[in-house]
Structure 1
Amino acid sequence: MVGVLEFLGDQPLILLGLLIALGSAAGRLGIGGVSLGPVAVLFVAIALTALGTTYDVTLEVPELLGSMGLALFAFATGILAGPSFFTTLRSAWQVVLAVAGILILAAGAGAVVGRSLGLNSEAIAGAFAGAVNNTPALAAAGGTPQATVGYATAYLYGVVAMLFVTGLAVSRGERDRDTPAEITDLTVRVEGDSSVSVADLRHRYGDRLTFSRVAPNAHTPPEPVLEDTRVGPGDLVTVVGPREEVEACCRELGHASSHDLTRDRSSLDFRRITISDPRLAGRRVGDLDRDLGRRFDAGITRVRRGDVDFVATPDLMLQLGDRVRVVAPPETIGEVSRVLGDSSRGLTDVNPVALGVGFALGLGLGQVAVPVPGFGSVMVGAAAGTLLVGLVMGRLGRVGRVATTLPHTAASVMVELGLLVFLAYAGTRAGSQIITAFTDGEVLNLLVTGAVVTTTVGIGVYTVMRWGFKVGRIRLAGIVAGSHTQPALLAFANARTGHDPRVALGYALVYPAAMVVKIILAQLLVVL
């Protein structure tokens, strides 16, 4: 045993691979239908490192690898959340302030309990950092031996308790108010006495609907719907969009027809085509739609990103790897495929220019010190810096001729890879301190203090977000993970929801503010 541990201690890359393999295998084991997923890597790393400590063998994944994994995870998470983040932030800034208030309350509760148990300021600050699983907060607290022991003692409960809260958020009921609506299509027979512009109908329904085919009657082959198309009495038109809006439009125009225009593929065909030409990344559907309509009498009706279908609204920004549903004449649909690329490479092209530039800018931003009155300055940090840059690049999509985003599939792979590396690193850091923490005389007091902090954050965020802000369960899981700034929780939520994009959106919404608030609070706890 000692020989094996010493070998792993001398070969950190082999140790990293072993931890990822064993942790991932353990994460697939289900108990009562629930499995830990990638977060099991963290617990395997803690256990194996603690075992090495008992034999005086140091097992550690290099800090450089851990930092790279965390930065990769944060940047890719920002890329995934960027297209929706700023829109959501404008309507949900109150959520960010609420999370900050809950963290302040938790720090105050921890200070009161810690003082009553006789702990000094450094130990309390360390317990707070461990309870909220935030290593930069430990550094802000000075990283002294007392703070480090407090951090290690509270860390494990901080992970386990918040895993429970995240699982509770994901599993509460089947209904979710922000679940994307099912996309459907319906052939409508127009009634009434006058014609109406398709452009006006789109505007009337907030661009949530699109129209793919039109025909004057059931015996005439359908034609593509163009920008200036009008529909009048007796016309058949195919409406595409969320079911409720499609049904409302049907009631407004006339009634559902027994004749389905989509079944007639003699004059118009449809095909799912992958966006793989880098020149199209970051372009709006409306711009591309006009170009395809002018050149090929073709139109885009739906966009599939990951496992989610979207209506092809004019303002929707396309990403490499998106699979668009195109309606076009059979003789031109092949040309449309060549224009869009239609290569599986579009799913996995990492766009190395955007990745390299974003990584460098994010790490550089992480070195910026932000002055905070009364506390000196606070470093943005590599994780927050790369996340912020990823959010901006994901939102921009394109700067001039350069695409700033990554394919959804490639970004998702980067999130998981970065998480696995970081979790292995974090586990070896915590595991090496666990034995010391549990043999220290103050371990029980530190555990209680940390538990108060973690429980306050968990119950506070869950309660306020669910009942106060009425946040849907999927996004709530992401907000819980983001408020704790714990990648393991994001991995767990992603595993439970099949990488639903709302998880990453909730995480990115509160993560930057939570990171900064925790660092400031740790410094404040030291000086109190």
Structure 2
Amino acid sequence: MSFITQPVVALFLCLALGYLIGKIRLGPIQIGGVCGTLFVALALGQLGVTISPDLKNTAFALFIFALGFTAGPQFFNSLRGGWRYGILSFVEVGTVIVLLAAAILLFGLDHGTASGLFAGSATESAVLGTASDAIARLALPAAEVERLQANMATAYSVTYLFGLVAIVVFTTQIGPLLLRIDLRQASAELARELGAEDDDAEDNGTLEIVSRAFRAGAIAGGTVGDFENSINGVVTITQVGREGDFTKATVDRALKPDNVVVIVGRRRAVIAIRERLGEEVALPAQDNAPMIEREVVLTRRELIGLRIRDLRRLASAEQRRGVFIPNIRRLGQSVPALPGTELQQGDILTLYGTDEAIQRAAPELGHLLPARSVTDFVTLGLGIVAGLLLGELSLRLGPLNLTLGTGGGALVAGLVLGWLHMHRPQYGAIPADTAQFMKDFGLATFIAAVGLSVGPDAFALLREYGVVLPVLAILVSALPALISLYIGHYLLRIEGPILLGAIAGQHCSTPSISALVSLAGNSTPVIGYTVTYAISNVLLPLMGPVVVGMVGMLR
């Protein structure tokens, strides 16, 4: 037993068992590793295990800075151009604050219980860090601060589970019922409206880029450029030749009757133009124009808000030749790269084509991401230090002492540096995989430290409130979603699948969007999810100190 109570052993045991529990799935419900870690930590905390507060604070600083860094590119754009979906994040925050105020008045919730209810019901674990820091700044004895922080962790562990179930059930079952839609059918129709091929409308809305070889047929006598211009460049001829003798195609290459041409393009486009060509033949064995994939971050302001189909219309024939966009990544989520998909600043576009074509087109979109990058520890270290300094600033408004705290300061610093890195990707790199590890490990370690510090105080809170906390969690989770549903449908006229995705995003609920995409049959709900997720992931943690201050005013 003494081995288990060693802090390092207890920490990694919490992570291992917590993430193992988090993988258990009941229908569409999966609590995830963070909540599972807290459950294990609460149990081990009964043995008197504690972890240094310095490690807890360090882990949270890593997590919250990485959260801001990855969200920065989309966050500022969402505030500026994504208001149609982003307004739902403000509905979420405003409604939850009102409901929480009512709960404080009715049940006399203390600072810790109210903060835990807020974090758990909104399924936003980052609130624990900002609220914990605000509680530590209260003019209270150390023992009372520890009790309040223990109440926060316990309330969170109870309400998270019920809040998670409530939002998953609402977005996947209740929401479609209230909207009177068949989610799969509505998602397939939306994908087709955005330009998906009929066969792919229920397959993540993806566009398949294919290569086919045909005899020149009726296009013989003209040039490669003549043919491509006649079809507005929807496909590209990459190779021209005869059996065993193919060369890279150029726009001025004359086509002869015995030539075979290799065509690359969207499957539907290739099918549409094949009647203009001769018979289809086998692709040549050698590849004189190898196709590659590179990622480019979209930064050109004049392109923000345009649809993918607009890029081809605005680009010159030379710029668009031989380049395709098969995938878009936004906040780590794959957005359907359909002709009707709107582009946002900070989108990571996958370009597919020859190296020459990609190098030609990329500067017209933004900046090519390096094929491989390493963490810039100068940016990481100074960024977190700057955030911690920012968190020391405070503003007193009557009885409220408003401060970002260490968590809020690191979050803001991460947002700014992430946005700057988007525009200058050669500086301040933190690779996506590294940032994801910082978020996962930092948050899980922080949660484990919080859970281990609770000890026997956890059961005292459960005896005090009984079923009140689960009921409040369901109400605080479901009511903002219900209000957003009607605002989004009747006032904002948002399409059903996108609206449900936006509601999952305003709740920062990854399990909800995963369940939605599975039921929808394609990724169209992600279009709404990424906007509200970017905004709520910043707004909700910043509300931690506000909740703590609100308790002091209302009690």
What TM-score, normalized by structure 1, do the two folds share? 0.65
Contact 1:215 1:221 (8 Å CA) reproduced = yes
Q: What is the aligned length?
A: 465
C-alpha distance after superposition, 1:400-430 (max 9, x if no partner): 6843333333333333222322332233345
Q: Does 1:417 align with 2:412?
A: no
Residues in 1 aligned to 2:485 and 2:31: alpha-carbon distance in whole angstroms:
20
Residue equivalent to 1:23 = 18
Q: Which secondary structure state, in structure 1, belongs to the residue aligned with residue 430 of structure 2?
A: coil
Structure 1: gaps spanning 5 or more residues: 53-57, 285-297, 330-339, 483-488
Residue equivalent to 1:524 = 550
Aligned-pair CA distance for 1:308 = 5.8
Residues in 1 aligned to 2:235 and 2:454: alpha-carbon distance in whole angstroms:
53
Q: Which secondary structure state, in structure 1, belongs to the residue aligned with residue 246 of structure 2?
A: coil
- 1:518–1:360 distance in 2 versus 1, CA, 3 Å: closer
Q: Which secondary structure state, in structure 1, belongs to the residue aligned with residue 505 of structure 2?
A: helix
Moved more, 515-524 or 176-185: 176-185
Residue equivalent to 1:507 = 533
Equivalent residue for 2:284, pick from 261, 264, 288: 264
Matched letter for residue 182 of structure 1: L
1:154-233 residue pairs with structure 2 within 5 A?
Answer: 154-165=155-166, 167-168=168-169, 173-174=183-184, 175=187, 181-185=206-210, 211=236, 213=238, 215=240, 221=246, 223-224=248-249
Equivalent residue for 2:61, pick from 71, 74, 82: 71
Equivalent residue for 2:476, pick from 436, 453, 472: 453
Matched letter for residue 160 of structure 2: V
Residue equivalent to 2:460 = 436
Aligned-pair CA distance for 1:16 = 0.6
Residue equivalent to 2:81 = 91
Contact 1:79 1:394 (8 Å CA) reproduced = yes
C-alpha distance after superposition, 1:442-479 (max 9, x if no partner): 55656655654344345556776688644638954762
- 1:300–1:100 distance in 2 versus 1, CA, 3 Å: closer
Q: Which secondary structure state, in structure 1, belongs to the residue aligned with residue 402 of structure 2?
A: strand
Matched letter for residue 42 of structure 2: I
Aligned-pair CA distance for 1:110 = 3.6
Aligned-pair CA distance for 1:160 = 0.6
Residues in 2 aligned to 1:237 and 1:512: alpha-carbon distance in whole angstroms:
48
Q: Which secondary structure state, in structure 2, belongs to the residue aligned with residue 221 of structure 1?
A: strand
Contact 1:193 1:233 (8 Å CA) reproduced = yes
Residues in 2 aligned to 1:360 and 1:230: alpha-carbon distance in whole angstroms:
59
Q: Does 1:41 align with 2:37?
A: yes
- 1:382–1:46 distance in 2 versus 1, CA, 3 Å: same
Residues in 1 aligned to 2:539 and 2:26: alpha-carbon distance in whole angstroms:
35
Moved more, 16-25 or 374-383: 374-383
Residues in 1 aligned to 2:499 and 2:387: alpha-carbon distance in whole angstroms:
30
Matched letter for residue 516 of structure 1: L
Matched letter for residue 327 of structure 1: T
Contact 2:68 2:412 (8 Å CA) reproduced = yes
Residues in 2 aligned to 1:465 and 1:116: alpha-carbon distance in whole angstroms:
30
Contact 1:38 1:492 (8 Å CA) reproduced = no
Q: Does 1:103 align with 2:93?
A: yes
Residues in 1 aligned to 2:30 and 2:96: alpha-carbon distance in whole angstroms:
29
C-alpha distance after superposition, 1:366-409 (max 9, x if no partner): 4444x475565532244444444444444444676843333333
Aligned-pair CA distance for 1:434 = 1.2
Residue equivalent to 1:112 = 102
C-alpha distance after superposition, 1:476-517 (max 9, x if no partner): 4762443xxxxxx5589679989x997776533322222334
Residue equivalent to 1:327 = 354
Equivalent residue for 2:51, pick from 55, 58, 61: 61
Residue equivalent to 1:350 = 375
Residues in 2 aligned to 1:231 and 1:365: alpha-carbon distance in whole angstroms:
65
Residue equivalent to 1:13 = 8
Q: Does 1:360 align with 2:360?
A: no
Q: Percent same amino acid among aligned pairs?
A: 19
- 1:417–1:68 distance in 2 versus 1, CA, 3 Å: same
Aligned-pair CA distance for 1:436 = 2.3
Matched letter for residue 533 of structure 2: Y
Contact 1:196 1:231 (8 Å CA) reproduced = yes
Matched letter for residue 10 of structure 2: L
- CA RMSD between the two structures: 5.6
C-alpha distance after superposition, 1:70-122 (max 9, x if no partner): 333333344444454444443323544433333333333343355345x2776
Contact 2:74 2:346 (8 Å CA) reproduced = no
Residues in 1 aligned to 2:75 and 2:255: alpha-carbon distance in whole angstroms:
40
Q: Which secondary structure state, in structure 2, belongs to the residue aligned with residue 403 of structure 1?
A: coil
Residue equivalent to 2:428 = 404
Contact 1:79 1:393 (8 Å CA) reproduced = yes
Contact 1:85 1:509 (8 Å CA) reproduced = yes
Aligned-pair CA distance for 1:161 = 2.0
Q: Which secondary structure state, in structure 2, belongs to the residue aligned with residue 270 of structure 1?
A: coil
Residues in 2 aligned to 1:407 and 1:43: alpha-carbon distance in whole angstroms:
31
Q: Which secondary structure state, in structure 2, belongs to the residue aligned with residue 181 of structure 1?
A: coil
- 1:224–1:393 distance in 2 versus 1, CA, 3 Å: farther
Contact 1:128 1:450 (8 Å CA) reproduced = yes
